[in-house]
Amino acid sequence: MKKIGLYIHVPFCVRKCYYCDFVSFPHHGDKVRAYLAGLERELELYHHLLTTVKISTIYLGGGTPSCLSPAELAVLFALLDRHIKREHCLEMTMECNPGTISRAKLQAMKAVGVNRVSLGVQALQDEHLARLGRTHKLAEVYQSYEMIRRAGFKNVNIDLMFALPYQTLKEWETTLTGIMDLEPEHISLYNLVFEKGTQFYHWQRDKRLPPIDEELDLAMYQLALDLLPLAGYRQYEISSFAPRGLECRHNLTYWYNEPYLGLGPGAHSSSGKVRWANAGSLEEYLAALQGGRKPVVEREELSVELQRAETIILGLRLKEGLGRQSFRERFQGDICSIYAKSMAKLQGQGLLKVTPRRVSLTAKGLLFANQVFLEFLPG
């Protein structure tokens, strides 16, 4: 039986953060009800697949799933109970934001099988949180974290962001050490990107925000690489740190380029050979489902070249890199022969390390990963 990761997108937030380009809408009771009805139809349309695969991980992401009311969460969890077999599920994560959880919600999460909580902290300074348009304050970070622990969750990830406007290296250090003191099981960190269409993108274009200082951005990343291992957080992926055995299994599905199914507005899916995406507009998503159709708006059959490139790019995100044997088995050829020229160039630049078993980024390659990835994309 095939193994897949299941992602469910819950596209509601208290309000939109200024830098956000995810599919998310302000929480509104009628819209949530319509979404939940749509999601049930989508689950029914995937009934055959969902009952003939092993679901090894489930990830409830968003949006902010925890901003649903207890009654709305009860409906969502009842859907999971009715439609998703969880006997093979090793990890079930739910994304939460500080200030949007309660004891009742956490208990309901436990009851449905959530065993990993991902908390979107981002920064430990009220000034930065406000500038990002986040709805929480520092005090709520600590309150929510404590509530999660009290509810008995033993696997918690904290999401952080760096290279924020006006953020100093010292402030970033304070955030990192403050989070390390909390001792979550996993830490993820991302540098701020001014994505097109976001409020931040317009503000930067209008010079209301300073451009990203690339040197400082690199220095902040380097600081995380230096500090986190001191507290036992092993970097196992470009943005992910955890002691051995506490890696995010769901995200490993993506990095190993294994199949996953995404449900909900804007969710993406991949079988490895074909990938598809749902409509990001709630109206379009619901209209398709009301008409009895899957809400898929993009579908792409991947050429072998693209499958290979994606497997390499995703695999190189991992610190251990890509196994040459598994690559050979999947693509009937050795990575070092197929990409001889690019590999020689990247090795010469000190960005790539090649051993008889694996290909991985060097310490320098980690800092310039995007440059490495470009080399593998079909021309």
Q: Which residues bind ligand SF4 (CB under 6 A)?
A: 13, 16-17, 20, 22, 24, 62-64, 97, 120
CB closer to ligand SF4, 120 vs 295: 120
Least distance (Å) between residue 176 CB and ligand SF4:
20
Question: Do β-strands 322-323 and 352-354 pair in parallel, antiparallel, or remain unpaired?
Answer: unpaired
Nearest to ligand SF4 of 13, 359 (CB atom): 13
3-state secondary structure of 4: strand
Question: Could you tell me if 155 and 117 are in contact, meaning their C-beta atoms sit under 8 angstroms apart?
Answer: yes
Minimum CB–partner distance for residue 47 and ligand SF4 (Å): 29
Tell me how far apart the alpha carbons of residues 72 and 35 are, in angstroms, rounded to a whole number: 10
Residue 201 CA to residue 137 CA, distance in Å, equals 23
Q: Which long-range contacts (CB under 8 A, 24 or more apart) does 197-206 make?
A: 197/21, 198/18, 198/19, 198/20, 198/21, 199/16, 199/18, 199/19, 199/133, 200/18, 200/19, 203/18
- Report H helices in 191-303: 199-205, 214-227, 249-255, 282-290
Residue 35 Cβ vs ligand SF4, minimum distance, rounded to whole Å: 15
Q: Are 27 and 275 in contact (CB under 8 A)?
A: no
**Whose Cβ is closer to ligand SF4: residue 79's or residue 96's?**
96
Min. distance of Cβ 227 from ligand SF4 in angstroms?
24
User: How many angstroms separate the CA atoms of 161 and 124, rounded?
Assistant: 10
Tell me the β-bridge partners of 61: 9
For residues 132 and 246, which CB has a smaller minimum distance to ligand SF4 in the complex? 132
Residues in the chain: 379
Closest CB to ligand SF4 among residues 97, 175: 97
The least distance separating ligand SF4 from the CB of residue 13, rounded to whole angstroms, comes to 3
In the complex with ligand SF4, which residue's Cβ is closer, 16 or 110? Answer: 16
Least distance (Å) from ligand SF4 to the CB of residue 62?
5
